[in-house]
């Protein structure tokens, strides 16, 4: 798997070549990418191309590429690839993001974010 991870452009790796995460959502996004790859939704070259395209688009839009936005690109690439492969529609992904944002807004800092039925009412 290390060789696969090294094919991901810009992936922050520690000294042991394991991924480094600053926040739990980053690890969750990482895990989703691995799981969907293992399920056969896309190949590593497809994933690397989607991630590279997201990073290039962000840089063209002015992203300073300091590493602090890397997993935002990771998540955007995941969303675009999932939609492109027909695993979920873009509108469905947007609705999920809105529900998550609502849950995050009502969650005190430092507490785990939990989705509730009412969060979907705002999506």
From residue 9, how far is each of 17, 40, 82, 120 by CA, in Å?
A: 14, 20, 19, 34
Q: For 91-105, how does the pLDDT look when each residue is reduced to its tens digit (9 = 90+)?
A: 877 787 788 888 888
Asked if 70 and 20 touch (Cβ cutoff 8 Å), the reply is no
Q: What is the pLDDT of residue 9?
A: 60
Mean local confidence (pLDDT), 1-19? 65
Q: For 28-76, how does the pLDDT look when each residue is reduced to its tens digit (9 = 90+)?
A: 888 889 999 999 999 999 999 999 999 999 999 998 877 788 889 988 9
pTM tops 0.85:
no
For the cut 70, the answer to whether the pLDDT of residue 112 exceeds it is yes
């Amino acid at each position: 798997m290390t060789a696969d991870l090294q094919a991901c452009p810009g992936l922050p790796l520690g000294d042991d070549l394991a991924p480094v995460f600053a926040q739990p959502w980053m690890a969750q996004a990482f895990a989703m990418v691995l799981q969907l790859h293992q399920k056969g939704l896309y190949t590593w070259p497809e994933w690397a191309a989607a991630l590279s395209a997201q990073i290039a688009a962000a840089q063209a839009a002015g992203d300073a590429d300091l590493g602090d936005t890397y997993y935002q690109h990771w998540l955007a690439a995941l969303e675009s690839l999932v939609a492109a492969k027909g695993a979920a529609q873009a509108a469905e992904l947007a609705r999920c993001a809105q529900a998550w944002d609502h849950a995050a807004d009502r969650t005190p800092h430092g507490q785990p974010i939990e989705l509730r039925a009412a969060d979907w009412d705002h999506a």
